């Protein structure tokens, strides 16, 4: 063999070796499972139950879609900022993003390009069951911005998250309410006075930090104004329409005398000593205080009442007869949950958007996956009782043993079991709410906020100065304070912003033939 | 010194760098730090002039000129925030330095080493307490219903004070807490400067019959002047930057106190936290930096006119 041939042979062997390697490599790449990361909300659990569940779930996902799922948590401390900054960072390690239009800035982030627009073909090919189920209800329209779908709605799960007061039926009875039932917002004055006089250890209503329920609770029950959930100025919702005139934008902060009436009631409550003098700087856990009979009222929504309050109160304060007064109970002025109170988006930076959709479809629609992801491993994380209810194994402590997947982005009624911890009067409460609640009429309305963002920031600045003080009755002269606030709001361009939202509503109503 | 001094000739730059390799190496962490955290992000200030969205990125988002700055003026906050931030910092600088010098001088006069160490440590310790804890301690001292101060007042038959509703008291509280935290730490710099004063000056003063007070007045204080001026210049540079941790933890979201306690940092933080508004907050940050920059340049220029050696550059 001459030298040239030897070189040729060597080169051939080398080439073969390289291409074989490359071939093997590509075969391996095809076989390697795709890792999908889901961004969710909550504190990452550390009890090992999540990992144990994921091991089981991933074995199934591997088989069904050659994929593995991992969770990325936005923890509760400072969650609004953390969530938005995480989306802003464009991290390509996150594939699925939990979102919501009313509390997780879904529209803002879709507008800013954090989410991948999802084409019909893509959804049909990769999330066929989700596509079909949402399509059958005609709900894809609720997730469209400029004609493109941006997330899958949690539209097949019944819950109410309308807010109100939890209070104690036993105390209300003693305070002189028939059957312990409080039916009007201002009647809480009587309840508070009674708590103040007879329960020296308890605050009538202990609140920690900024809250505006004393105002909005009153306004909801005493007007027919309905809040536009699409526009926020900081923590406030500055724009409303009225039921009588649903296509004219107004504001309860700017118009009418009801705000003053609410502020005067709040001042009365402050003078009684309903909350701590320094409520704004207090940051205790008032839910736990309610369980310990240290506060007469706790404020949150129906779902919390049905799944936590009743069960905890019945165990920790037997005989306390926990009740729920929802805001707008007087006049039926409250909404059913919108279908995008929870939703799932795909990150614009995801390297495997198709696979991400496949995984979501499998979690949302495969019962075994669903049970694993939502409730964990049967026997260790949950049990099914003889009467078909979901309960917990003996020795299970919900405060330390929680699974913590916090999957609120695509729950399905048909896979949910009634829970042993559910309120016994759940059906009754839901029926009462169903009888009164209105459908939110503006689900498909998109408000373009880009133009009014700086104005909303300025409005937020003014409201965050005045509303907490009005809520806690801290102004000696609420009428003067409200006048001052309205002047300031006008100065920063409130009317401009209102007119801009009005233009969006006009266009929307005209396009739908509503006006 | 040798009798024959060679004529200093300016070495070429590369040679200079090569000669001070080790010194430069020691500077590298600081240089890298400033490049990464202070210079590299500078172009990002462009966000302040855009209607920012993630898809188009910082430089692709539509340009909107000064629209984002409008809110600062519209909301009437600009003047209040600037005033509060500057007044608090002036108070911190003036009272802080006076107290730090006084304490350094007093420490220097203490003869018992043991007592000197103990008091130094005791004053230094608050510096290590996190602002979050300071906030909690303050709430437990000052709150109306259960606070220690009001409990004392009630016990002695007085009427409790609604401290968290009275905006007027808060400048005093904040300045006191700041001084409590920072004086021990700051005095160490002055103490070190005093240690560096030529002892023969004191001996000469003593021989001339100077009393202890005269030695402080005519030797110690004048020798501290350069340190004082440099420290003041440095702090003037950050006069537009508030102590966020302290203010946020003491005041938080208590709107009743904003008039006298809201500074640029806390206002920006609330805005980003609740408004998801990166553009306007960048605008405020940019305003703050430019204003601060102008202040440093002016202060340095003034000092240079007075005494060139004391100027920073």
Task: Report domain extents, chain A.
Answer: 33-158+338-411, 163-336+441-511
| Domains of chain B and any CATH numbers | 56-310 (1.10.3720.10)
Q: Which residue of B has its CA nearest to A281?
A: B254
* CB within 8 Å: A457 and B271: yes
From B68, B267, B272, residue closest to A81, measured CB to CB: B272
Q: Which fold has domain A33-158+338-411?
A: D-Maltodextrin-Binding Protein; domain 2 (3.40.190)
From B52, B75, B273, residue closest to A461, measured CB to CB: B75
* CB within 8 Å: A80 and B273: yes
pLDDT tens-digit readout, A30-82: 578 999 999 999 989 999 999 999 999 999 999 999 999 999 999 887 787 78
Helix (H, G, I), strand (E, B) or coil at A359: helix
**Residue B20 CB neighbours (<10 A):** 12
Residue A201 contacts B, CB cutoff 8 Å: no
pLDDT of residue B66: 86
The class level of CATH for A163-336+441-511 reads alpha beta
Looking at beta carbons, which residues of chain A come within 8 Å of B275?
232-234, 456-457, 460
Distance from CA of B19 to the nearest CA of A (A): 43
Residue A189 contacts B, CB cutoff 8 Å: no
pLDDT tens-digit readout, A158-172: 889 999 999 999 999
pLDDT of residue A5: 60
| Mean pLDDT over each residue of chain A, to the nearest integer | 90
pLDDT of residue A22: 44
For A:323-352, CB contacts with B below 8 A are 348
Phi and psi, residue A291, nearest 5°: -65, -25
DSSP category for residue A446: -
* CB within 8 Å: B255 and A469: yes
DSSP category for residue A30: H
Q: Which residue of A has its CA nearest to B69?
A: A454
Distances from the Cα of B24 to the Cα of B14, B20, B30, B122, angstroms: 12, 6, 10, 37
Burial of A245 (0-12, 13-18, 19+ CB in 10 A): exposed
User: Following DSSP, what letter does each residue of A228-267 receive, concatenated?
Assistant: -TT--BTTB---EEESSSTTS-B-TTTSSSHHHHHHHHHH
Phi and psi, residue A224, nearest 5°: -105, 25
pLDDT of residue B5: 60
For A:465-484, CB contacts with B below 8 A are 465-469, 474
Q: Give residue A196's Cα distance to chain centre.
A: 34
From B56, B145, B276, residue closest to A84, measured CB to CB: B276
Looking at beta carbons, which residues of chain B come within 8 Å of A112?
52-55
pLDDT tens-digit readout, B38-75: 899 899 899 889 887 777 778 888 888 888 887 677 76
The CB-side HSE value for B205 (13 A sphere, CA atoms) comes to 17
Looking at beta carbons, which residues of chain B come within 8 Å of A105?
276
* CB within 8 Å: A281 and B276: no
Distance from CA of A230 to the nearest CA of B (A): 13
CA distance B265 to B283: 12
Burial of A408 (0-12, 13-18, 19+ CB in 10 A): buried
From B76, B145, B267, residue closest to A277, measured CB to CB: B145
Distances from the Cα of B94 to the Cα of A284, A331, A410, B245, angstroms: 37, 60, 59, 21
Looking at beta carbons, which residues of chain B come within 8 Å of A457?
71, 75, 271, 275, 277, 280
From A113, A456, A493, residue closest to B54, measured CB to CB: A113
User: Following DSSP, what letter does each residue of chain B receive, concatenated?
Assistant: --SSPPPP-PPPHHHHHHHTHHHHHHHHHHHHHHIIIIITTGGGGGGGGB---TTTHHHHSPB-TTHHHHHHHHTTHHHHHHHHHHHHHHHHHHHHHHHHHHHHHHHHH---HHHHHHHHHHHHGGGGS-HHHHHHHHHHHH-TTT-HHHHHHHHTT-PPP-GGG-GGGHHHHHHHHHHHHHHHHHHHHHHHHHHTS-HHHHHHHHHTT--HHHHIIIIIHHHHHHHHHHHHHHHHHTTT---HHHHHHHHTT-GGGHHHH--HHHHHHHHHHHH--HHHHHHHHHHHHHHHHHHHHHHHHHHHHH-GGGS--
Helix (H, G, I), strand (E, B) or coil at A197: helix
Domains A33-158+338-411 and A163-336+441-511 belong to one CATH topology = yes
Task: Yes or no: say if B237 and B295 are a contact pair by the CB < 8 Å rule.
Answer: yes
From A232, A469, A492, residue closest to B74, measured CB to CB: A492
Q: Which pLDDT tens digits describe chain B residue by residue (313 residues)?
A: 445 566 666 778 888 888 888 999 999 999 999 999 989 989 989 988 988 777 777 888 888 888 888 767 776 778 888 899 999 999 999 999 999 999 999 999 888 999 999 998 999 999 999 999 999 999 999 998 889 999 999 999 988 888 998 889 999 999 999 999 999 999 999 999 999 999 999 999 999 999 989 999 999 999 999 889 888 877 877 788 888 999 999 998 888 888 899 998 888 888 777 666 778 888 888 888 888 888 888 888 887 887 787 777 7
Instruction: For Cα atoms A97, A98, A100, give the angle at the middle one, nearest 5 degrees.
Output: 125
* CB within 8 Å: B54 and A109: yes
pLDDT tens-digit readout, B100-122: 999 999 999 888 999 999 998 99
Looking at beta carbons, which residues of chain A come within 8 Å of B165?
277-278, 474
Q: Which is nearest to A451 in space by CA: B49, B69, B272, B68?
A: B68
Looking at beta carbons, which residues of chain B come within 8 Å of A465?
255, 258
pLDDT tens-digit readout, A203-213: 999 998 778 89
């Amino acid at each position: 063999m001459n030298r040239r041939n030897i070189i040729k042979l060597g080169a051939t062997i080398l080439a073969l070796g390289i291409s074989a390697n490359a071939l093997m490599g590509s075969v391996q790449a095809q076989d390697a499972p795709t890792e999908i990361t889901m961004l969710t909300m909550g504190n990452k659990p550390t009890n090992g139950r999540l990992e144990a569940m994921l091991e089981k779930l991933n074995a199934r996902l591997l088989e069904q879609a050659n994929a593995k799922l991992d969770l990325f948590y936005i923890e509760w401390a400072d969650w609004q900022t953390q969530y938005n900054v995480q989306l802003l960072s464009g991290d390509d390690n996150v594939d699925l993003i939990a979102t919501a239009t009313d509390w997780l800035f879904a529209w803002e982030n879709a507008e800013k390009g954090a989410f991948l627009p999802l084409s019909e073909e893509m959804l049909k090919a990769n999330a066929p069951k989700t596509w079909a189920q949402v399509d059958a209800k005609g709900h894809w329209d609720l997730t469209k911005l400029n004609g493109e779908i941006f997330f899958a709605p949690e539209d097949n799960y019944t819950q109410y998250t309308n807010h109100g007061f939890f209070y104690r039926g036993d105390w209300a009875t003693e305070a002189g309410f028939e059957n312990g039932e409080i039916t009007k917002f201002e009647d809480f004055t009587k309840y508070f006075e009674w708590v103040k006089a007879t329960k020296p250890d308890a605050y009538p209503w202990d609140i920690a930090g900024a809250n505006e329920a004393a105002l909005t609770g009153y306004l909801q029950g005493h007007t027919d104004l309905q809040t536009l959930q699409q526009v926020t100025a900081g923590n406030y919702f500055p724009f409303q329409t009225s039921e009588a005139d649903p296509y004219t934008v107004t504001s309860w902060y700017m118009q009418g005398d009801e705000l003053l009436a609410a502020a005067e009631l709040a001042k009365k409550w402050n003078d009684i000593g309903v909350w701590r003098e320094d409520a704004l700087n207090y940051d205790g856990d008032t839910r736990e205080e309610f369980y310990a009979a240290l506060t007469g009222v706790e404020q949150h929504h129906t779902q919390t009442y049905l799944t936590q309050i009743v069960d905890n109160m019945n165990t920790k304060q037997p005989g306390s007869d926990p009740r729920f007064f929802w805001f707008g109970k007087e006049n039926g002025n409250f909404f059913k949950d919108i279908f995008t109170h929870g939703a799932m988006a795909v990150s614009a930076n995801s390297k495997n958007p198709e696979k991400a959709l496949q995984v979501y479809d499998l979690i949302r629609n495969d019962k075994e996956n669903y049970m694993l992801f939502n409730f964990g491993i049967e026997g260790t994380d949950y049990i099914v009782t003889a009467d078909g209810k979901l309960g917990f194994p003996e020795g299970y402590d919900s405060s330390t043993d929680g699974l913590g997947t916090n999957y609120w982005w695509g729950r399905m009624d048909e896979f949910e079991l009634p829970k042993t911890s559910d309120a016994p009067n759940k059906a009754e409460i839901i029926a009462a709410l169903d009888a009164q609640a209105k459908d939110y009429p503006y689900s498909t309305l998109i408000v373009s906020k880009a133009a009014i963002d700086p104005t909303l920031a300025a409005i937020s600045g003014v409201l965050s100065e005045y509303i907490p003080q009005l809520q806690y009755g801290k102004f000696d002269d609420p009428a003067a304070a409200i006048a001052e606030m309205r002047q300031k709001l006008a100065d920063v361009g409130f009317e401009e912003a209102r007119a801009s939202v009005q233009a969006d509503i006009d266009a929307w109503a005209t396009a739908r033939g509503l006006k | 010194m040798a009798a024959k001094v060679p004529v200093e000739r300016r070495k070429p730059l590369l040679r200079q760098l090569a000669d001070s390799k080790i010194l430069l190496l020691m500077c590298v962490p600081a240089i890298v730090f400033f490049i990464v955290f202070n210079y590299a992000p500078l172009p990002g200030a462009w966000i302040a002039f855009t209607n920012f969205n993630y898809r188009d990125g910082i430089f692709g988002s539509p340009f909107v000129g000064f629209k984002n700055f409008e809110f600062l003026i519209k909301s009437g906050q600009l003047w209040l925030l600037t005033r509060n931030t500057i007044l608090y910092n002036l108070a911190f600088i003036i009272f802080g330095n006076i107290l730090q010098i006084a304490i350094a001088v007093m420490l220097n006069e203490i003869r018992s080493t043991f007592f000197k160490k103990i008091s130094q440590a005791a004053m230094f310790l608050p510096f290590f307490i996190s602002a979050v804890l300071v906030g909690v301690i303050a709430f437990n001292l000052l709150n109306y219903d259960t606070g220690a101060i009001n409990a004392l007042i009630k016990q002695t038959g007085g009427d409790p004070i609604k401290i968290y509703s009275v905006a007027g008291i808060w400048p005093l509280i904040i300045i006191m807490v700041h001084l409590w935290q920072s004086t021990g730490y700051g005095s160490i710099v002055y103490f070190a400067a005093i240690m560096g004063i030529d002892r023969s000056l004191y001996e000469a003063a003593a021989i001339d019959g100077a009393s202890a007070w005269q030695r402080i007045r005519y030797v110690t204080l004048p020798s501290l002047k350069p340190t004082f001026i440099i420290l003041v210049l440095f702090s003037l540079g950050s006069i537009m930057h508030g102590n966020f941790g302290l203010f946020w933890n003491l005041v938080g979201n208590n709107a009743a106190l904003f008039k006298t306690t809201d500074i640029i940092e806390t206002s920006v933080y609330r805005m980003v936290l609740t408004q998801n508004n990166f553009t306007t907050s960048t605008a405020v940050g940019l305003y703050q930096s430019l204003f601060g920059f102008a202040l440093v340049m002016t202060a340095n220029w003034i000092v240079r006119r007075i005494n060139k050696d004391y100027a920073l550059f």
